[in-house]
Structure formats: structure tokens, C-alpha cells
Structure 1
């Protein structure tokens, strides 16, 4: 992998599927939300195809009927009923600790509602290791638009060329490209190594957190 033109000053992480495995938690919540609003049952295949998309897309495709705001509010009110399914990536804590020791900015950039994202991070024991949490409602448009990434960069005071976005979906990749941020793919459910994945893009680090 070619070296970056400018040293990395910040790492942006998607939440679901990267820092934490919340797949079953979200599947349970989306199914329960659809039942609550009288929408058709959400199948596993439909949920898999939607993974990583925005609440607005959920409201159109998975929970037709209520507004996106109503769906987001239901998510926020009921995610705690599924929080036992949240699993932190086994290397997330030491990776975030190491990035902090290196003086690098750390932000979570997610299409999940910000309140839900913070609840997930608290459950995983990761919230205090991030400088910023940017979620749905913090910008006009969700990923794949660049807006959420741009908000995170602004809060961290880091230019796009000095940041890396770590994501697991096409929405993350497209948002990073639109924002001019380098994209690195990582999926916690694939049982890879977050430390080695980041080590390949950070100068002088074979493995982050070692």
C-alpha cells in the first residue's frame, strides 16, 4: 500500500460492524420496530441488504408507514432492549488507546442516531476513548453523502487529506471518497485484525496497539 502524502492526524471509524458487532442487536430492533408500526416482517435477507444504510432508508424500505423521525425515535427508545447483543471488536480498546497515545484524533462516524451510537459505545466500554461521536442528526445528509465525515473533520480540526476512514460498507466507502478521505475496509464479523488493518496505513506501525 502506497504511503500517504500527508501524515495521518485522525482516524474516523464507522460504528456498527467496525468498532462493535451489533448485527443481531440491530436485526432484532428493526424487526421489533416494523412490528410496532404494523409494517411487514423484516427478513434476514432484506436486513442484510440494508446493512449500513440510513434511518431514512430504513423508513422507506424496511419500516414503511411512519416517518424517518418516528423510526429514529423508536430506535432510540428501544435499543436498550437489545443492548445485550452488542459485542466490542476484540482489538478496539487497545487500538483506540494506542491512537490516543500517538496523539491522533479519533471519531466515530455513523448513520445510527447519535443517542443510540453513544448507548452502544457505553455498552462496549469504548465511549471515553473517542474524541467525537457524529451520527444521524448531526448533519443534513447521512452516508454515502460526505456530510457526517466533514462534520467530524471540522470538530477534530483535521483536513481530509490527513484522515483515514475505517468502514465496512459501500456507504462508508462512498462517503469517504466524496469527502476526499482515504478509505480502509474492515469488518469485525470477518474475524480479521483491526490492529493490523490500521498498521498498514499508519507510518511506521506494523500493528496498532502492539
Structure 2
């Protein structure tokens, strides 16, 4: 018998393919102020909470706006992009529903609450998750374990009986540090670092390959 009782999904890069959208929107935004990303800005911001990446753009990149203003500006642009076209990853909606027939589901995302709610509503997935959390609702973003620890706590479960599905380096580190069994679905354009990928007990190239039997074997 498997001891896995719940599966916690990441959002960006797992259910929706938005890493390129985030990069395009944020690069365009900082360019409006005559600034450009630092060499490691994109990697650093993957998994950061809203407060963290907006502070990076304001303080480190030098956008002459407060972090709160930066966050509001960028989130408005992202919401507009989502309204025009939601970039669902092929098979993601079906995978959520299929796994939901066997496990309790939660979602732990670095996206802001307003974007999480909009994506789930547009994709018809709002009712599939017992718990949804944004890293802006916990003290620290990924790679820290806060959001996964909070999600499992809200489920009333130990991290040891939960599995996480992640794509990014910071996400894999976050789930691993929290003690969940980690499933990696590496992004083709933004692959995780080798040390982060080592946190995964299971690696699949496509969500549609992820079976209940494979998850049951994780513990």
C-alpha cells in the first residue's frame, strides 16, 4: 500500500507554461525604465514570491518604482496576458483531474493570489484543490520550504505522506526541504539545475506520463 495521501502541484511550469511569459513581461517592463535584467535575474526570480521578485527588480535591477508599485504594474500586465490567452500545458488539466480521483490535491505557487484564482477559474480547476497557497501568503518564497509546509499543514497531513510536482530549481528545492516526495517535470527552456534535480524521486518529461502507480511507489 502507498503511504502517499496527497499531491501538491506547482502552477507555473507545471499546469500553465508561463515562464517565458513572465520573462517577456518583466524584461519589457524594466526596459520601459531603461533598465535590463542582471545576468542571473531570470534564474533568481523563478520561485520567488511577489514581494521578493518585485524587490529584486526595484532594488537590484534599479527600476525607479517601489517594490509595491513594481508588483502592481507587472501583475496587471500578467493578468492581461492570461485574459487574452491562458497557456495551459498539454495534459495538465486532465492530469489534475485524474490524480484527484485518487489523492487529495493542493496547490503551492509562487504566483500572486489574484493570478492563481484567475488561472484556476479559467481552466475549470477551482474545485479540484482542497488547499491553494501563494508564496506571498507565507514568510518566505521558494526555495525555502514555507509554502509546502503551510500547504501540508492546511491539509492536516505530514509532508512525509505528500508528493510535490515541480519544474524549477527553486521549486524542487522547496519541496525537498519540506520533506515531500518530489516529482520533477523539467521545463524544456528553463531546465532545473543538476543539484536541484537530484531532489526528485521521480522525473517525467510529460505530465501525461505520470501515473497513480508511479506515485504510489514513491514511498
Shorter-normalised TM range: 0.7 to 0.9
Report the equivalent of 1:21: 17
Report deviation, 1:196: 2.1
Structure 2 residue 49 is the aligned partner of structure 1 residue 54:
yes
1: distance between equivalents of 2:98 and 2:113? Answer: 25
Contact 1:8/1:202 (CA < 8 Å) preserved in 2?
Answer: yes
Runs of 4+ in 1 over 6 A off after TM superposition: none
Structure 2 residue 193 is the aligned partner of structure 1 residue 193:
no
1: distance between equivalents of 2:73 and 2:145? Answer: 26
Report the equivalent of 2:200: none
Unaligned runs of 5+ in 2: 190-203
Q: Give the counterpart of 2:36 among 35, 41, 44.
A: 41
**Number of aligned pairs?**
199
Change (3 A) 1:48 1:105: same
TM norm structure 1? 0.79
Change (3 A) 1:40 1:168: same
- Aligned-residue CA RMSD (Å): 2.9
Contact 1:97/1:129 (CA < 8 Å) preserved in 2?
Answer: yes
Report the equivalent of 1:30: 26
Matches within 5 A, 1:122-161: 122-161=121-160
Report the equivalent of 2:201: none
Deviates more, 1:180-189 or 1:139-148: 180-189
Contact 1:21/1:189 (CA < 8 Å) preserved in 2?
Answer: no
Report the equivalent of 2:192: none
Report deviation, 1:93: 1.6
How big is each residue's C-alpha offset from its partner over 1:89-142, in whole Å with a ceiling of 9 and x where there is no partner?
A: 22112211122222x121121112121222233333333322222113211111
2: distance between equivalents of 1:20 and 1:128? Answer: 17
Unaligned runs of 5+ in 1: 205-210
Change (3 A) 1:177 1:56: same
TM norm structure 2? 0.76
SS of the aligned residue for 2:74 comes to: helix
Report deviation, 1:195: 3.2
Structure 2 residue 100 is the aligned partner of structure 1 residue 100:
yes
Change (3 A) 1:82 1:28: farther
2: distance between equivalents of 1:199 and 1:101? Answer: 10
Contact 1:19/1:188 (CA < 8 Å) preserved in 2?
Answer: no
Change (3 A) 1:49 1:146: closer
SS of the aligned residue for 1:154 comes to: helix
Report the equivalent of 2:8: 12
Contact 1:109/1:149 (CA < 8 Å) preserved in 2?
Answer: yes
